[in-house]
Amino acid sequence: MGASKYLRAAAVIALILLIEYAIELAGAINAYSRPSPQEVAYALNTTISTVIEKENTTKIVSSAAGNLTAAAINATRSAASAVVNATLGKPVNSSKVANAFTGASQSTQQFMAAAAIYLYAPLQIFINNAPPCIFASVPVEGWAAIGYILYQTGYLVGSAMAAAGVPPSTAALVLASPVTMVELLAYAVSTYASTLMLKPLIDVARRKRGKASIADLRPWAAALAAALAILLAASLIEYAALP
């Protein structure tokens, strides 16, 4: 019984995913017949600025990682030398050892700060995409909102592709790429969450019951949490896919 319930849920989510892809593709195809220079400029500026930001951040992280490695090696050598000297009864330069470990500590802090900056970029993508994902979990109104957002996203991608001379078939493949499909899956799961609220709301509207309970929200909340987790993974994949 439980397995069939999950299979039905997976089938519904797959159907929603196909519908969302079709909406996004429709926006892209429409862009080929009516391209928007403003959309093209926006897409190019956003992509270029994100790529440049990633390149600069990657250089900072690589430099910090190199400094950390060198500092760790230096600290290890100093510690090993101190142990050997102490064992042989030779004088130990404690200040040199202390300075080596201080340098390693500072390099570690610099690396952690650089890594935080690097991780903030995909987090920013997630923050930008989270509101539509959450709103998609609202019955009826959320469906219209996510449909409009996906259509406009497809139109944006299509405008950029048309300006670059890319054929519509390639645009369709780009929209069906794993990066895009993982994000669409998040929206599909969130849209599915909205369907879980329909029956309780309909029962209340028909006065079959007094009001919705907290128990009615648990399946919706679980599905929405899963959608946001998938969206976070999609944000990481999207950022990693940038050149």
| Residue-level pLDDT at 191 | 93
Domain extent for 148: 2-60+117-241
Asked whether the beta carbons of 226 and 202 are under 8 A apart, the reply is no
Higher pLDDT, 33 or 151: 151
Q: What is the pLDDT of residue 31?
A: 83
Q: Considering the entire predicted model, what is its pTM? A: 0.70
DSSP state of 206: T
**Tokens at 213, concatenated:** 């309970």
Q: Is residue 108 part of a domain?
A: no
Q: Taking Cα atoms as reference points, which of 241, 120, 118 lies closest to residue 181?
A: 241
Tell whether 8 is covered by a domain: yes
Of the candidates 242, 51, 228, 238, the residue with the CA atom closest to the CA atom of residue 127: 228
User: What rounded mean pLDDT belongs to the chain?
Assistant: 78
Query: 184, 146 in Cβ contact below 8 A?
Result: no
25 lies in some domain? yes
Residue 66 pLDDT grade (very low, low, confident, very high; cuts 50, 70, 90): confident
CB 142 within 8 A of CB 191: yes
Q: With 70 as the cut, is the pLDDT of residue 142 above it?
A: yes
Work out how many domains the chain is built from and give that number. Answer: 1
| C-alpha torsion angle, residues 153, 156, 162, 164 (rounded to 10) | -110
Cα radius of gyration (the chain): 26
In a domain? residue 162: yes
Q: Is the pLDDT of residue 97 over 90?
A: no
Q: What is the mean pLDDT of residues 39-49?
A: 56
Rounded to an integer, what distance in angstroms lies between the CA atom of residue 103 and that of residue 96?
A: 11
Assess if residue 107 is contained within a domain: no
Split at pLDDT 50, 70, 90, the class of 183 is: very high
Residue 181 lies inside a defined structural domain of this protein: yes
Is 214 a domain residue?
yes
Residue 153 makes CB contacts below 8 A (sequence gap 6+) with: 24, 27
Q: Would you say residue 76 lies in a domain?
A: no
**Section 209-232 average pLDDT:** 81
- Residue with more model confidence, 150 or 50: 150
Give the three-class secondary structure for 188.
Answer: helix
Percentage of the chain lying above the pLDDT 90 cut: 21
DSSP state of 91: -
Highest mean pLDDT among 13-22, 85-94, 130-139, 170-179: 13-22
- Residue 166 pLDDT: 79
